[in-house]
A and B are shown apart, each in its own frame.
Chain A
């Protein structure tokens, strides 16, 4: 990849005013849409229940005029709830609505700070613009010619294409409301710290002690080893051999190990040497290594210093 090109990924790096860098995973339109649908479902359910209760109470209290007043009050409630639902929840739930909480996403400012009430209200007011263009009922009225003549133009079916288009063009998946208010929506990640991977093969620490002490594992190789050791338990044995072979072959050549040394075991040993032994040694006084004649010189049986490191599965 050329140095000047940015890797395409749905993550963004935010540096706070305190010069602390965070990496967030952005929530795009497809991640956000289910949250929106959940919110709409909650809003509709709450509205229907509220409206039914209101109609019953008003009809009982005011009799004839109750239904008309109830309908009017219901429309006012609908207006207020649709325009304020998102804003109020995002203000008091720290950038989340119930739908967003269920989907594990949160609204932040572009600087990674919590949003304020004005931003929460405004970005939800601008949502209407993101639902454009709206399709007229006449599009479907064609299917019902008998009713079409009397059908007034009603634009109520949202296509969300403006929002989709804006979010596609924006590098931070910002819709119009986000662009106006300077907000982004991120995925709340709850990554477990992996720590040191557990090596189930007791031969790995043994082989690690015979790896050359002057071989410094570069940072990128350390990452690659950590990823491999972390993921290898999900691979089949054949796949382990296939994957480990790529780095295992040049390492065997470099360390002058027996040619039938298991590549998988070698990578585990190098991982152990890098992330376990070296760290322990950093924390404690370095012991004097026992004199070993030439631990890297394989004998005829394909062993190093009497320990058989040949893979029971053969070469990868």
Chain B
């Protein structure tokens, strides 16, 4: 493995160029990205379906006056919040895979799973607990099934939690990358060891404003992409069945699928942004070049000596 001959070009890019190259990465690794994404997403999709699908069990009718729109809104809104909160956990395998794909042409699926498994305790602490995934799931468990809209749990606590997660993720977006790829420890065992929180502060701190603006752009883009995808499902259904209403299949399956597909793409984009930040802030591509040259030099000198 030569560090300066990476599979994905490591160079400084702007925000829009990073989005464009993320599409290329998505295309080049579509199959493994989808496989790794499904590995993390399917359990969460099933869980969300169990937690929320009853909200969408409304009376779907050809007569629009009889359709319970509040149930559809309630389901869509809560699903959007849950997917937003859970997205980093659902895409952890994808992040680990792309991290390897920068240097290796065909990263092993098994290695990816093993790496994530090794980092599981840190992920549980950093993502599941600190970043509100477990509390969000717990909140939805507390909501009474087939009950009326719960203004306290759904209207207050879930939204407050989502806001907390949004702000945290806006200023500290690369937690998955730090935990899975840099593999810093949670706690300091020796004086000079860089912990996850210290590393996160060092990486994100100087670029806090940029990251926040970038996060706002990401949210807008994710909403547009999700609506485009979901609209396409409605279009396909409308053309095939001459029914333009949002039926149970569209709402319960196509909407979450659209959200998770966009979340997967945004995970690829997040990784590319992480590379961009490390290049801008730490000269990561310079370091890779010098490390590669050092390896070549050592090999050359060793060969001449031998």
Binding site for B on A (CB under 8 A): 1-2, 5, 7-11, 25-31, 34, 133-136, 138-139, 141-143, 145, 148-149, 153, 157, 159-161, 164, 167-169, 173, 187, 218, 220-221, 223-224, 227-228, 231-232, 234-235, 239, 242-244, 246-247, 249-251, 254, 267
When distances are taken between beta carbons in the complex, the residues of chain A under 8 Å from B105 are 1-2, 5
Please report which residues of chain B, range 63-92, place their CB below 8 angstroms from some CB of chain A when the two chains form the complex: 64-65, 67, 69
CB-based contact A168/B26 at 8 Å: yes
CB-based contact A29/B23 at 8 Å: yes
For the complex, what is the distance from the CA of A173 to the CA of B238, rounded to whole Å?
Answer: 30
Partner of A143, one of B69, B103, B283, B286: B69
Partner of A234, one of B103, B238, B283, B293: B283
Binding site for A on B (CB under 8 A): 2, 4-9, 11, 13, 16-17, 19-21, 23-28, 64-65, 67, 69, 103, 105, 227-229, 231-232, 234-236, 238, 244-246, 282-283, 285-287, 289-294, 296-298, 301
Q: A29-B20, A247-B297 are in contact. Are A136 and B289 (CB under 8 A)?
A: no
| CB-CB nearest in chain B for A133 | B235
CB-based contact A148/B6 at 8 Å: no
For the complex, what is the distance from the CA of A251 to the CA of B2, rounded to whole Å?
Answer: 19
B82 CB, nearest partner CB in chain A, Å: 22
For the complex, what is the distance from the CA of A143 to the CA of B245, rounded to whole Å?
Answer: 11
Q: Give me 25 A-to-B residue pairs in the complex whose CB atoms sit less than 8 angstroms apart, sorted by A's number.
A: A7-B5, A8-B7, A8-B9, A9-B9, A9-B24, A25-B17, A28-B24, A31-B17, A34-B16, A133-B232, A133-B236, A135-B231, A138-B245, A142-B64, A143-B69, A153-B244, A160-B228, A161-B229, A228-B286, A235-B282, A242-B287, A243-B283, A244-B290, A246-B290, A254-B301
CB-based contact A145/B64 at 8 Å: yes
| CB-CB nearest in chain A for B243 | A138
Name the 10 nearest CB pairs between A and B, nearest first.
A28-B20, A9-B9, A30-B19, A133-B235, A224-B289, A159-B228, A135-B231, A138-B244, A247-B290, A1-B5
When distances are taken between beta carbons in the complex, the residues of chain A under 8 Å from B24 are 8-10, 28, 168
| CB-CB nearest in chain A for B28 | A8
CB-based contact B294/A246 at 8 Å: yes
| CB-CB nearest in chain A for B279 | A231
When distances are taken between beta carbons in the complex, the residues of chain A under 8 Å from B236 are 133
When distances are taken between beta carbons in the complex, the residues of chain B under 8 Å from A168 are 23-24, 26-27
Known: A168-B27, A254-B297. 12 other contacts (CB 8 A): A1-B105, A8-B28, A28-B16, A28-B17, A135-B235, A142-B69, A157-B231, A159-B232, A159-B235, A221-B293, A239-B283, A250-B294
CB-based contact A246/B69 at 8 Å: no
| CB-CB nearest in chain B for A167 | B23
When distances are taken between beta carbons in the complex, the residues of chain A under 8 Å from B21 are 8-10, 28
| CB-CB nearest in chain A for B282 | A239
CB-based contact B17/A220 at 8 Å: no
CB-based contact B290/A224 at 8 Å: yes
When distances are taken between beta carbons in the complex, the residues of chain A under 8 Å from B69 are 142-143, 145
For the complex, what is the distance from the CA of A249 to the CA of B73, rounded to whole Å?
Answer: 62
For the complex, what is the distance from the CA of A9 to the CA of B23, rounded to whole Å?
Answer: 10
CB-based contact A250/B301 at 8 Å: yes
Partner of B23, one of A7, A28, A235, A246: A28
| CB-CB nearest in chain A for B291 | A246
Partner of A139, one of B13, B231, B292, B296: B231
CB-based contact B292/A224 at 8 Å: yes
For the complex, what is the distance from the CA of A259 to the CA of B2, rounded to whole Å?
Answer: 27
Q: A135-B231, A246-B290, A247-B297 are in contact. Are A235 and B283 (CB under 8 A)?
A: yes
Q: Chain A at the B interface: mostly helix, strand, loop or mixed?
A: helix
| CB-CB nearest in chain A for B25 | A8
For the complex, what is the distance from the CA of A145 to the CA of B66, rounded to whole Å?
Answer: 9
| CB-CB nearest in chain B for A253 | B301
| CB-CB nearest in chain B for A187 | B17
For the complex, what is the distance from the CA of A176 to the CA of B140, rounded to whole Å?
Answer: 44
Q: A145-B64, A145-B65 are in contact. Are A1 and B6 (CB under 8 A)?
A: yes
When distances are taken between beta carbons in the complex, the residues of chain B under 8 Å from A234 are 283
CB-based contact A7/B8 at 8 Å: yes
Partner of A227, one of B25, B286, B298: B286
CB-based contact B19/A142 at 8 Å: no
When distances are taken between beta carbons in the complex, the residues of chain B under 8 Å from A251 are 297
For the complex, what is the distance from the CA of A159 to the CA of B238, rounded to whole Å?
Answer: 15
For the complex, what is the distance from the CA of A141 to the CA of B291, rounded to whole Å?
Answer: 60
CB-based contact B16/A31 at 8 Å: yes
When distances are taken between beta carbons in the complex, the residues of chain A under 8 Å from B301 are 250, 254
| CB-CB nearest in chain A for B289 | A224
A100 CB, nearest partner CB in chain B, Å: 13
When distances are taken between beta carbons in the complex, the residues of chain A under 8 Å from B289 are 223-224, 227-228
Partner of A148, one of B23, B64, B296: B64
Q: A135-B235, A142-B69, A250-B294 are in contact. Are A31 and B20 (CB under 8 A)?
A: yes
For the complex, what is the distance from the CA of A26 to the CA of B9, rounded to whole Å?
Answer: 14
| CB-CB nearest in chain A for B235 | A133
When distances are taken between beta carbons in the complex, the residues of chain B under 8 Å from A30 are 16, 19-20, 23
Partner of A1, one of B7, B19, B235, B287: B7
For the complex, what is the distance from the CA of A136 to the CA of B246, rounded to whole Å?
Answer: 12
When distances are taken between beta carbons in the complex, the residues of chain B under 8 Å from A243 are 283, 286-287, 290
When distances are taken between beta carbons in the complex, the residues of chain A under 8 Å from B64 are 141-142, 145, 148-149
When distances are taken between beta carbons in the complex, the residues of chain B under 8 Å from A139 are 231, 234, 244, 246
B301 CB, nearest partner CB in chain A, Å: 6
For the complex, what is the distance from the CA of A143 to the CA of B19, rounded to whole Å?
Answer: 33
